[in-house]
Amino acid sequence: MNSAPSSSLSLNGRLPSVNGSSALSSPHPDHDYSSSHESALFSAHNGYTQVPYHVHNEQIVHHLYHAGFQTGNYSDTILHVHQSAYRLHAIMLSRSPYLAHLMSTSPQSGGQRAIYVQLDHEPEVTQEGFAIALGYLYSPISLSLIRPENARGVLAAGCLLGGMDDLCAYAFETCRRSISVENIAQWLEFTEHTPSSSNGSPKSEMSSTSIFGQYAQRLRDDVFNYLVVILPVALHVNATAPVAEAESPQEANGRDTLLRVFSMVPFDLFKAAVESPTFQIGTDQARFKFAKDAIELRKGHGAEETVVLAFGGAQGGSAVHVTRKLRKRPLWKVNS
C-alpha cells in the first residue's frame, strides 16, 4: 500500500495550485459563468430578483463586524493604541499596509500576537477616529459612523493605516462640507500647521498635518474657498451695490462677522484672500476699506501689517496689496 501523500490532496477543500489560484476557479469547469450566463441563471422567479450571493456576502460582512470586530471572538492579535486594547484578527488587519508592516516586524513569542501603535506624535488621530478606521477593515458599516465632529480624526486615521481610499474620500467630503462660521477658528488653526504648496518654499520639518498627505492641501484650499467665496455670499456682503448706496442692516452685520473671521486668519492666508480676484465684496475701494478695517482688528499679532491701493487699477492682478513688517525688538545699551 502506497503511503506517499497524494498529489490530489485538497487545501481547505480545494485542489491546490500555484498560489492557490484554483480556489477561485469554478466548481464546474464545464460551465460558463460569464456575466450574461449568470444573469440568466439568477433571473427573476416568483418575484425573486436579488442575486443570492449578494445576500450571502452581506451576512458574512455583518458576522465579521459583529463577532470579529465588536466582540473580538477567535482573535489572534492584540492591538494596543492610546489607552485601549483591541482583540482583532491578523488576516483582517493585513488589509492595512501600515498594520501589515507592524505585524511583520513585531516579535511574537507564542500565543497571541501583540502590536503597539504609537500616536504620540500624531495629534490629529483621535481615539474615536482610529476605532472607526479599524472597524472599516471589517465592514463598510463604519462609514455610517462618520459625522462632522469626528470626520477629521477618521481621515487622519485612514491616511495613517492606508488602503482605505473610500473611507478617506467619505471623511474628507464630510470635513469640507462641515466648514462653517461656528468652527472656522478650528480650521484656521489647521491651516496654520499646513504649509502651502503654492509658495514653492521647501518644508523644513514635518508638520502635525503631514499625516493627511494629499488631503492636507485640499483641505487648506477648501478653507480658502470658504473664506473668499462661500462666506461672503452666506453673510450677504454686497458685491454689486454702488459705493454711495448705504448698507442694509443685514449687510452691515454680515460685514462685521466677516471682519471678525478675517481678524483670526493667518497672515499668508489673509493676504492671499484679500488679494484674490475671487474675493468679491465690491469695488477695489470697498476691498481696500475692508482690509484696512480687518488689519485694525488684527493688531497685536507681533507684526505691522499694512494695505495699499494701486490707483488706476491693477493690470493682470489685484489693486489691493497687503504687506507685513516684523516689529524690531528694542536694543538695550549696556554700559561697561
By the 10 Å C-beta count (0-12 exposed, 13-18 middle, 19+ buried), 68 is classed as: buried
Q: By percentage, how much of the chain surpasses pLDDT 70?
A: 72
Tell me: do 319 and 246 sit in the same domain. Answer: yes
**Domain-located, residue 34:** no
**Domain-located, residue 135:** yes
**Domain-located, residue 172:** yes
Per the confidence metrics, is the pTM higher than 0.85?
A: no
DSSP states of 14-64: B---GGGGGGGS-SSTTS---HHHHHHHT--BTTB-S-HHHHHHHHHHHHI
**Strand runs (DSSP E) across 63-205, as ranges?**
77-81, 84-88, 113-117
Tell me: do 156 and 268 sit in the same domain. Answer: no
Tell me: do 164 and 275 sit in the same domain. Answer: no
Q: Examine the pLDDT at 74 and tell me if it is beyond 80.
A: yes
Rounded to 5°, angle at Cα 50 from 46 and 52: 100
pLDDT score at 108 = 81
- Among the candidates 147, 178, 209, a domain finishes at 178
**Domain-located, residue 222:** no
Determine the structural domain holding residue 156 and report its residue range.
Answer: 57-178
pLDDT score at 53 = 83
pLDDT band at 229 (very low <50, low <70, confident <90, very high): very high
Answer left, alpha or beta for residue 124, where phi above 0 means left and psi between -120 and 50 means alpha. Answer: alpha
Between 74 and 239, name the one with better pLDDT. Answer: 74
Q: How far apart are CA 257 and CA 263, in angstroms?
A: 10
Tell me: do 101 and 163 sit in the same domain. Answer: yes
Q: By percentage, how much of the chain surpasses pLDDT 90?
A: 60
**Domain-located, residue 312:** yes
Dig out the grid coordinates for 226 from the structure.
470658504
Tell me: do 61 and 174 sit in the same domain. Answer: yes
Tell me: do 161 and 235 sit in the same domain. Answer: no
Between 140 and 203, name the one with better pLDDT. Answer: 140
Mean pLDDT computed over 111-117: 91
Mean pLDDT computed over 127-142: 97
pLDDT score at 111 = 81
Q: Which of 11-20, 83-92, 233-242, 319-328 has the highest mean pLDDT?
A: 83-92
6 secondary structure, DSSP code: P
Q: What CATH code is carried by the domain that includes residue 158? A: 3.30.710.10
Residues 168-216: tens digit of each pLDDT: 999 999 999 999 999 999 999 999 888 766 544 444 456 778 999 999 9
Tell me: do 162 and 250 sit in the same domain. Answer: no
Tell me: do 64 and 150 sit in the same domain. Answer: yes
- Among the candidates 156, 178, 200, a domain finishes at 178
- Among the candidates 178, 199, 215, a domain finishes at 178
Tell me: do 159 and 86 sit in the same domain. Answer: yes
pLDDT score at 201 = 44
**Domain-located, residue 12:** no
**Domain-located, residue 203:** no
**Domain-located, residue 156:** yes
Tell me: do 86 and 162 sit in the same domain. Answer: yes
Q: What is the mean pLDDT of the chain?
A: 82
Tell me: do 75 and 146 sit in the same domain. Answer: yes
* Number of compact structural domains in the chain: 2
Tell me: do 89 and 156 sit in the same domain. Answer: yes
